[in-house]
Amino acid sequence: MKKISFLIGMCTLLHISGRAQNHVCHSPNGQIRLSLGLDGKGQPQYSVMFKGKAIVEPSHLGLKLKDHDKPRADFGLSYAQLAIDSAKVDESWEPIWGEVKTIRNNYKSLILTLKDNAANSSVVKIEFRVFNDGVGFRYELPDQQNLKSFILLDELSTFNLTGDHKIWWMPGDFDTNEYNYNTSLISEIEKNTKKRDGNIFTSTPIKGAFVQTPLMAKTAESVYVNIHEAALVDYPAMDLQFDTKTFEAKATLAHDASNPEESDPAKKNKAYLRTPAKSPWRTLVISDDARQILSSKMILNLNEPSKVKNPSFIKPMKYCGIWLEMHLGLSTWDMAGTQAASDAGSDGKTTKRTKHGATTANTKKYIDFASKNGLGGVLVEGWNTGWEEWFGLWKEDVFDFVTPYPDYDVVEVNRYAHSKGVNMITHHETSGSVTNYDRWMDTAYKAMNKWGSPALKSGYVGRIIPRGEYHDGFWMVSHYLRAIKKAAEKNIMVVAHEPVRPTGLHRTYPNFMAAEAARGQEFNFWSEGNPPEHETILPFTRIMGGPMDYTPGIFKIKKSSYYPGAKEQVHTTLAKQLALYITLYSPVQMVTDLPENYEAKPDAFQFIKDVAVDWDDTKILLAEPGDYIATARKAKGTNNWFLGAISDENERTLELKFDFLDKGKSYEATFYKDAPDASWDNNPEAYVIEKKTITSKTKMPVKLAKGGGVAVSILAK
C-alpha cells in the first residue's frame, strides 16, 4: 500500500464584504471546487463547482440536538469558527473482492471546527473530502465536557441544486425501496409519485416531494450528479425533500417510534448517540461523462478499511436454489400446502399450491445441478418451520431459525452438498420480527457453523417489530450492522433482502456480500413487473451504494408458459438476462431459473456457466441512465473478459470497441445476441450465438432489441 497523508496549505481564505468567510479547496485534478465557511449569520454553508459551472449553490449545514429531554441550541443556527484544517491523501488499497483489483483513494480535505453559541457551548467538526469524481462531507461531534449523550432531532444539510434537472428517482419511503423508478424534472416530482404495487405489504410514499437516495440527476449542460450517503453507521437513513420551485433538497431522516403523538417529523427523535459520534458521509458524485459515475469508487473510499481479521472464508459465487418455483406458484414455502395462490395466474381463478418446495429430495436435485454446472451454492427458502403460521401478519415469535420441517433433513442436505463440492446458503426470514431474530441470532449462526453452511440470505419482509420502527430507522440500521458483525465473527457471508440500501459498508465488512434493497426480478412474476428501462437505471441509483442481489438469468420469460392466460412476464429478452450478469454487479449472482429451463437451452446457459463473479478490472464502455449500458469486466486472475450491454424499451445499435484488450493478442469471442425479430414483448426468447476472433482493434456495431441486450465471453487464445 502506498500512502501519502499530510497537512498542506492548499486552501484559500476569502473574506466577502466583511460578513462571511469561505475556505476554498480543489480536487486533485482541479476540476471540482469546494467553498466552505460561515454566512453572515454564522451558519455554515458550502457550494460546489465543476469545470467552472455551479453544481451546488450555497447550501446550509447543521444539526439539531437535545440533551436527553432538554432542548439545546441548534448546531447550524449560529456558530463561531475555532479552526480550519486541511490535508491531502493519495493511497491505494486492494478490496477482498470487487470490480477492480486496486482502488486509488485520492482527495483533498477541509475540516471546519465550530462552536455553537449556547450558554454551555459544544463543538462540532464538519469534514469535506474533495475527490476527482465528487465531494463527501460529514459531521463529527468529538468527546467533550458539555456534550456526552444526546438525541439527534434533525439534520439541516441541504443540496441547493442549480436548476430543474432531469432526475431518476423513487418516492421517499423509509420502509421500502421496492418501487419502480420515475424519470422526470424536479418540478414534476409530486405529480409523478406512485404507490408501490405487487406486494401484500402495501407501503405509502411520504407526502410531498420526497425522494430516496441514491438520486441520479442530469443538468441541462449534461453534467451528471449522484446524491447518496456513505458509511451509514449508528444513524438513520437519509431521504431528500425537494422544494420543487427553488430545486433545493433537504436531508430528511427516518424517525423512530418513541413519540407517536408528535405530528411534526422534524420534532421526532432520529437517533440516540454519545460522543464521540460521526454522521454518515453525504456524497455527491459528479461528472460530465455518465461512464465515470458508474466507475466512481468514492463511496467505497469514504468507508473504513476491512475489519474482518481473517477473510479467507469470504468467497464470491454463483448459486441456484429453491426460490423461483414458489414465486411462480409451483410449490409452497410452508409444508401445509393449503395457501391460496391467487397470484398464480391472471385469469381470476385461484390455484391451490400443494407441494412443499424445500424437501430433502428436491434440494438434492438442485445440489446435483449446481455441482454439474460449477455453481458454488444452493439456496433453500421455506426449510424451517413457521411459514404456515406467518404470511403477511404482524406477528412475533414465528420462526426459531433452527428447526427444519420434517421433510427437510438439514444435516443430510449439508452433508450431501459438501460431498458434491457445493455449499448450502441458509435462509433466515425474520418476517419483520427483528426482536425475535435478535434473540435467536447467536443460536442460529452456531447451527449454521455446525451444519457447515457458510452463507446466509436474510429477509425483512413486512412491518418491523418493535412496532412503529422503520426499515431505514436508527434502530434497524443498528440491527443490520449488528447482524453483519456477528456473522463475520462466525465466518458467515450475508446477502440481505429488504434492508436499508447499502452505503459502501462492504469495504469495512466484506462478508456483507450483497443486498436486495430495491425492486428485484421477483416483481416480474406477480405484479405489473419491472419496465425495460429498470435495469438501465439501477446501476446509476441503487447499485451506487453496493452490489445488488437482483436474481438474473430467467430463460422462460412469460408466465403463461406455466399458466395459460397469465399476463405477467419478465420485461427483457433472454439475451438481456445474460447481459445482466455483467451490468448489474454482484459477487454473488443467482442462477435464478428452474434447472429444466437451462437444460432446455444448453447453448445459452453456457454463458452463465462461464461468466465470473470476481474481477480484476472493469471498463464502462457506454452509458446513459435510463437508456443503455455497456460494461466489460476482466475475470480475476485470468486474461478473460466478459461484456454485457443492455437497452431500455427502445431498439438501438451500439458501437462496441474492444480497445480494452491486450494489444497484439487474439481472443475468441462468443456473442449471445438478440435474434433479428426479438423483442421483450413479442418474441423475448429468440437469440442467436456467434463466434468471432477479435483483437483490441476490433470495432463492431451490435443491434439490441427492444428491452434487449448482448452478452459476450472473450477468452484469451
Which residues are part of the catalytic machinery? 522
CB neighbourhood size of 639 (10 A):
15
d(CA 62, CA 87): 22
Angle between helices 410-419 and 434-451 (to 10 degrees): 50
Q: Measured between alpha carbons, how far is 686 from 680 in angstroms, rounded to an integer?
A: 10
Count CA atoms within 13 Å of residue 154 on its CB side: 20
User: In terms of Cα–Cα distance, which of 661, 663, 660, 624 is closest to 645?
Assistant: 624
Helix H or strand E segment including 247: none
The Cα 117–Cα 203 span in angstroms is 42
d(CA 25, CA 12): 7
C-alpha pair distances (Å), 221 with each of 166, 225, 357, 380: 11, 12, 53, 49
Alpha-carbon torsion, ordered 189, 192, 198, 200, to 10 deg: 60
In the structure grid, which three cell numbers stand for residue 696, read together? 483490441
Query: Cis link prior to 404 (omega < 30° from 0)?
Result: no
Cα–Cα distance for residue pair 639/658, rounded to 1 Å: 14
Cell of 76: 447550524
Task: Name the DSSP letter for residue 332.
Answer: B
C-alpha to C-alpha distance for 323 and 383, rounded to whole angstroms: 11
Dig out the grid coordinates for 557 from the structure: 420469460
H or E element at residue 83: strand 79-93
> For residue 68, with 0-12 CB atoms within 10 Å meaning exposed, 13-18 middle and 19 or more buried, which class applies?
exposed
Angle at 660 between CA 658 and CA 664, to 5 degrees: 80
The residue count of the chain comes to 717
Identify which of 294, 302, 291, 206 has the alpha carbon closest to the alpha carbon of residue 541: 294
